[in-house]
Amino acid sequence: MAEKGPFLTSCIIFYLSIGAAIFQIFEQQPWQTAREKYDTQKENIVKKFKCLTKEDLDEILETVWEAAGQGVPITGDTHRDPWDWANSVVFASTIVTTIGFGNVAPKTEGGRVFCILYGLCGIPLCLVWISELGSFFGNRAKRLSAVLIRKGLSVKKVQLTCTALFLLWGLLVHLVLPPVVFMYMEGWSYLEGFYYSFITLTTVGFGDYVAGVNPNINYHRLYKVLAQLWIYMGLAWLSLFFSWNVNMVVEAHKVLKKRRRQRYRDFYQVEPEPVEDKDKQGEKPNVVDIFDFPKEDDYSTIIKQIGARAQEI
C-alpha cells in the first residue's frame, strides 16, 4: 500500500480537479442566470403589489423557506403528512442504506438523537443483508456456470457468458427500464429517471429527484413498495458490479506488471522465471465465480491476447 499510496492520491486529486472543472463549466453560468432571474422576479413582484415592500417579501420568502425546511409541502396537497407510517418507512430506509435524500429530515432533538443511534445499528445490519443478497445472486451465477461447464463449454466462454448475463440483467432491471416507469409515474424525462436511478443506487442521494413524494400525484401504495424493493435489489447488484469491476482492474494490473518485469528481464538479459506446466496445475473447475477469477483461462488471458495483437499491429 505504501508504494501505491502516492500514485492513488495523485489520481484522486487529478480526478476531483477534472470533475470540479467540468461541473463548473456546466453549472456555474445557469446558476448565475437563475439567481439574476430570481432577483428580477422579486423586483417585479414588489412593483406589481404596491402595498408590499422588499422587506415584507423577504419575510414571506423566509417563512416559506422555513416551512420547506421542515418538510411542509409548499404547493399541491399541503396536508400530506411526510411522517405517516408509509413515508416514515421510506425515511428509515434512506438511513440504513446511507442514501439520505435530504428532502425529509428529523427536526426535533429527540428525532436527531434517535436517527444517530438508529443509523449506528441499522447501517451495519443493512450492509450485511445487502451482502447476503449479493451472495445469493452470485450463487445463482455459479449454478449457471456449473450447468454450462457440464455442457462442455470452456472456462473462458463460461466466464464471458455469465458476465454478459450479469451485466445485461443488472443494467436492464436497475438502470435502463426503471426510468420508463418513472416517466409514467413521476412525469420525468428519461434522462431525469436514469439520473435518479444512478444517484439512488450509488447512494449519492442528492435529493433533487425523489420518487413517490410529489404532493400533486396520488401514488398507489404498491408503487412505493416496489420502489423500495428495487432500491435494495439494485444496491445488491451494484455491490457485485463494483466487485467485478475491481477484479477486472486488479487482473489488468497484474498483467501489466508481469509485462514490465518481462521487459526488464529482456533488457538486462535476466533468466526468465520457470513456468509451471499447465497440465500439472489441476483439472478444469466444476464452477466459475465471475467475482473471484480463477487462475487459468480467465480475463487476464483475454487481456494478454489483446496486448499480443496490438504488438503485432
Per-residue pLDDT of the chain (313 residues; tens, 9 = 90+): 456 778 878 888 998 999 999 999 999 999 999 999 999 999 999 889 988 888 988 899 899 888 877 777 777 666 678 888 888 988 999 999 999 888 888 988 999 999 999 999 999 999 889 888 888 888 888 888 888 888 888 888 888 888 889 889 989 999 999 999 999 999 999 999 999 999 999 999 898 999 988 878 888 889 988 999 999 999 988 888 877 777 666 666 677 777 777 776 666 666 655 555 544 455 667 776 766 644 444 444 544 454 555 455 4
The pTM (predicted TM-score) of the whole model is 0.74
Domain boundaries, the chain: 79-272+284-312
| CATH 1.10.3720.10 fits domain 79-272+284-312 | no
Reduced to 3 DSSP states, what percent helix, strand and coil does the chain have, rounded to the nearest 5?
70, 0, 30
Buried b (16+ CB within 10 A) or exposed e, 242-256: eebeebeeebeeebe
Rg (CA), the chain: 27
Q: What is d(CA 263, CA 240) in angstroms, rounded to the nearest whole number?
A: 35
